[in-house]
Structure 1
Amino acid sequence: MIPFLNLRAQWEAIKDEALPAAERVLASAQYVLGPEVAAFENEFAALCGVAHGIGVNTGTSSLHLALLAAGVGPGDEVITVPHTFVATVAAILYVGARPVFVDVEPGRMTMDPTLAAQAITPRTKVLLPVHLYGQTADMDPLLALAEAHGLTVIEDACQAHGAAYKGRPAGSLGAMACFSFYPGKNLGACGEGGMVVTADAALAEKLRMLRDWGAKKRYHHELLGYNYRMDGIQGAMLRVKLKRLPAWNDTRRAHAALYGQCLAEAGVTIPWQAPDCRHAFHLYVVRHPRRDALQARLQEAGVQTGLHYPVPVHLQPGYAGLGYGPGDFPASEAAAREVLSLPMCPFLTSDQVREVAGQVARITRELDA
């Protein structure tokens, strides 16, 4: 079986450094926040080209806190996309605001700036574009929109560790950016983790308070805060992995290039790479009109795949109260029917990439016959 993601191989590659790092945390008894988290915050913020990183317990928490720090609350609207993981939208609801969906661009599969412009109302407070699959949204027109209307831009960069837009790192483009360190991400914790990064010192101070019960000083609570702190061991593990992230991303890009060569005549639509982006290839997502059959046949052939995502958020039963329905966002709905994520990780071999591509080509020929 060719795995979709090989976390065991990743552990073998880092364990000689990771085990002593974990032991340092255990010996220090700094289990929550502490020096390892603080060091990781600084190192990851530097990768993103900003001054401040605020480590939290999950990517969802990073989105929640960024919206709170931006002052979003009941009566406000946040523009985002339905072709994303539900956490993007859940965080908007957590603060009592209304998610306003706009469709994605069919090629890039990120927020369409033209549609975003049409969705702005006097209640709009935030633009929340999602950098999907490792590629950033088209940010310059969104930033121009925000400036023209006095809006805050928050990047959902949970799939964009090490990506860039026109030479600028993901995380440096909006007022704040949110990252997830779920284990399967390009940079993943040994458990859960997340971070908000920002260049704004005042926002950073507010975010640090919000993640730690609203306090600057212990037992002095100035805000309604949350217990969203990052664990010390996660900070230590992420520091070990962060040093390897550039090389791991380069390997992902090499695998993507090889996939592109091997799949050029394979009967699937391969990912479109925007010329203004440096893709991090968190996922390698192809499209086929008979996606479900292709996925089932690949599983039979020993190839694990994933679906990101099979149901857009506006059609999820838990979000039916938002008032949207089938046909409202045709590009997102078409993607949900057709997308298929092929194996992608730094520990995939070139031979495995060729094998996956060969199986895809064989199966699509049979399906299209």
Structure 2
Amino acid sequence: MIGSVLVANRGEIACRVFRTCRELGIASAAVYSDADAGALHVREADVAVRLPGAAAADTYLRGDAVVRAALAAGADAVHPGYGFLSESAAFARAVGEAGLVWIGPPPAVIEAMASKTRAKRIMSEAGVPVLVAGEPPLLVKAAAGGGGRGMRVVRDLALLDAEVASARAEAMAAFGDDEVFVEPYVEGGRHVEVQILADAHGTVWALGTRDCSLQRRHQKVIEEAPAPGLGPELAEELTRAAVAAARAIGYVGAGTVEFLVTPEGRPFFLEVNTRLQVEHPVTEAVYGLDLVALQIRVAEGAALGAGPPMASGHAVEARLYAEDPGAGWRPQVGVVRELSVGVRCRGLRGGG
């Protein structure tokens, strides 16, 4: 049984994991950079270990330093959260080699899904539908990336070589890997994902769908669970494909299989996120589950039940952006001193 968990992250996700640890009676440990010494996650943890330095590259992205911190804190296990080292196979291996429990999928699974081109080959062989490049419009994408970096839409084949070169340069700068690939650009497609949870005994749960089509700069803004307007047959097709994808790679733990759904209702595999997603709470709200608690129990070797509980209701999550309109809408940081949220509902009865 896990008695203490170090979260190799900061901010909201660290606090989220600490909350579940308290409910389970598990001790929590935080890591923090000099810049985050006064942060909330440092105060929330039972133990906090300093990572010398201020920049993320010198602290949260130093796997060796995080592993040493976990050992110093007396932790039994490491939860990666999301971002930073959460999808680093090398870090997952280092955690295991240090005698700690990794609360996530096996390193080989993370490695297999790290490249979108390799992931597509695996899924195609498993019978999961994938997009195949043809005529324009085309989409150039970074094989190792995300968040819209290294991504270009090409509507004229004469421009393809130049856009590929540009995407390669951006991918190398952002991810240290200049591999890119080309697939059809689907006009008006929907971004729909399926939450999966698998144990080490061969059971895979598909916990419904989430719609994250509303995006800004290829970053998700609104998340809805379940994805509205899919219809039962398409929803079932998506969940079957997600389970097939998980089984094809021997997935263990919580993860997300992402799909592109065409306007005609045809789903195609995009990628597997080998970690907990920012939007996991909308699935938890619909299914009445604690995904972090289940992650921990699966990491301990527990078996999932025959099937998940029934979904009930609908949940929506919105991300708030802090940007400076005077500087080309560049992201900015600061202190929120006042927040007012207005909601207008139309067509509701009973005074809603």
TM-score normalised by structure 2 residue count:
0.29
Which structure shows the higher strand fraction?
Answer: 2
Structure with higher RCO (Cα < 8 A, 6+ apart): 1
Q: Which has the higher helix share?
A: 1
Q: Give TM-score, length-normalised by structure 1.
A: 0.28
